Amino acid sequence: MSELRKTPLHALHVELGAKMVPFAGYEMPVQFKLGVMKEHQHTRGKAGLFDVSHMGQVILRHEGGYAPVAQAMETLVPVSLLGLGEKRQRYGFFTDSSGGILDDLMMTNRGDHMLVVVNAACKEADIAHMKAGLEGIEVAEQRDRALLALQGPAAEEVLEPVAPGCDIMKFLDTGIFNSDFGELWVSRSGYTGEDGYEISVHATHAEALARHLLAHEAVEPIGLGARDSLRLEGGLCLYGHDIDTDTSPVEAGLAWAIQKARRRGGAREGGFPGADRILSELEEGTARLRVGLSPEGRAPMREDTPLFANDEGGEPVGRITSGAFGPTVGAPVAMGYVPAELSRPGSRLFGELRGKRLPVRVTELPFVPTNFKR
């Protein structure tokens, strides 16, 4: 097994007493001293600082500027990128020829080029995919930059003195700020369902910036454990679990991320891998759908718990893809795939746990209302 990679904040995590675990080829903090439950609640109540430097930051460039990059990327993702405003960020996914999802990512129009952020576990494959699929485009991973996420209702007041003007940014706005910590690439986004920012900083300044943010009384360091329960309560997909090459964007409930321009009858209809399947699913629906699930008891139903239509007999009709205890909800929460006819909120299914079938109800996502600055 190859050695685990370390982010520029590794030494700080260890100093702060983090429990370090292997994750996507990196040694990452799963929790700090507060523990998962309190870290989760602290993020929803005040502000949490996450190290997401393991994710891939990639700049896509063409001598013709942003438009040719956007045009090329539209052949890999079913998202309108030519329609993305300057300094705006958009969520999307790479699809494969059978309409499955290769990875999900964030894309930003940076005026004369595009910045994309991809998942750690997929980044090598994503970069190879872009290099192969984007003719004439320079694909440059920014390996000398760290990425921090500052999430929670206090994020704005914490970051404003560091990046003056970041307070007027709205959800999915981005900006470049000159700061005491060098050039910061800031987006008003994140993956917790809370307001907040993602801040790309040069590796040489990353630890100093993290220490500065942590010195604010509202901020605590947060590990991957709470990141997972926060995103789950926020109804957000985790790649490799809720979405993968076996799930289409429409099955995954991500049709909202496919703008009109890329749909049938749109100005730039199709033209991405798997378009035939995805465009027809957008009109005709799918046999199964990703839904929120609330187990009725107190026992969490975790990934791979089989779901049944009845309390006895029959074959599984679905499966849980993410499940945990939701600290803000105060009860177990889960997501999974169920047949379309059982996907309406309120529908009752049964999850099989330790040989027992326990009732679980389809619930509207997100479990916790999002708190984005619109």
Partner 1 sequence: MKFTEQHEWLKPEGDEITVGITEHAANELGDIVFIELPEVGTTVAKDDEIVVIESVKAASDITAPVDGEITAVNDAIVDEPGKVNEDAMGEAWFFRIKPSDPSQMDDYMDEDAYKTFIG
299 binds partner 1 (CB under 8 A): yes
CB 282 within 8 A of CB 269: no
Q: Least distance in Å: CB of 311 to partner 1?
A: 18
Contact range with partner 1 by CB under 8 A, out of 60-68, 85-93, 171-179, 296-304: 296-304
Which residue lies nearer to partner 1 by CB, 100 or 351?
351
Which residue lies nearer to partner 1 by CB, 143 or 298?
298
Subset of residues 335 to 374 that bind partner 1, contact rule: CB under 8 A:
354
Subset of residues 26 to 45 that bind partner 1, contact rule: CB under 8 A:
30-31, 35-38
CB atoms within 10 A of CB 331: 15
Measured torsion, CA atoms of residues 225, 228, 231, 237, in degrees rounded to the nearest 10: 170
Q: Least distance in Å: CB of 30 to partner 1?
A: 8
Among 112, 183, 180, which residue's Cα sits nearest to residue 144?
183
Q: Least distance in Å: CB of 371 to partner 1?
A: 22
- What is the distance between the alpha carbons of residues 36 and 327, in angstroms, rounded to a whole number? 9
CB atoms within 10 A of CB 242: 25
Q: Least distance in Å: CB of 324 to partner 1?
A: 7
- What is the distance between the alpha carbons of residues 95 and 251, in angstroms, rounded to a whole number? 13
Q: Least distance in Å: CB of 19 to partner 1?
A: 9
Which residue lies nearer to partner 1 by CB, 292 or 332?
332
Which residue lies nearer to partner 1 by CB, 246 or 304?
304
Contact range with partner 1 by CB under 8 A, out of 45-53, 87-95, 293-301, 359-367: 293-301
Residue with tokens 């970069």: 127
Using DSSP's 3-state secondary structure scheme, residue 308 falls into: strand
Q: Give me 353's structure tokens.
A: 């746990």
Q: Least distance in Å: CB of 228 to partner 1?
A: 9
CB atoms within 10 A of CB 60: 22
Contact range with partner 1 by CB under 8 A, out of 7-15, 244-252, 322-330, 358-366: 322-330
16 binds partner 1 (CB under 8 A): no
CB atoms within 10 A of CB 123: 21
Which residue lies nearer to partner 1 by CB, 212 or 302?
302
Among 300, 311, 293, which residue's Cα sits nearest to residue 347?
293
100 binds partner 1 (CB under 8 A): no
Which residue lies nearer to partner 1 by CB, 299 or 342?
299
325 binds partner 1 (CB under 8 A): yes
Which residue lies nearer to partner 1 by CB, 100 or 223?
223
The alpha-helical segments, DSSP class H, found in the chain are 10-15, 36-45, 66-73, 123-133, 155-159, 203-214, 224-233, 275-284
Subset of residues 189 to 228 that bind partner 1, contact rule: CB under 8 A:
225
- What is the distance between the alpha carbons of residues 272 and 134, in angstroms, rounded to a whole number? 12
143 binds partner 1 (CB under 8 A): no
CB 293 within 8 A of CB 361: yes
- What is the distance between the alpha carbons of residues 56 and 147, in angstroms, rounded to a whole number? 9
The footprint of partner 1 (CB under 8 A) covers: 30-31, 35-38, 225, 229, 298-300, 302, 324-325, 327, 332, 354
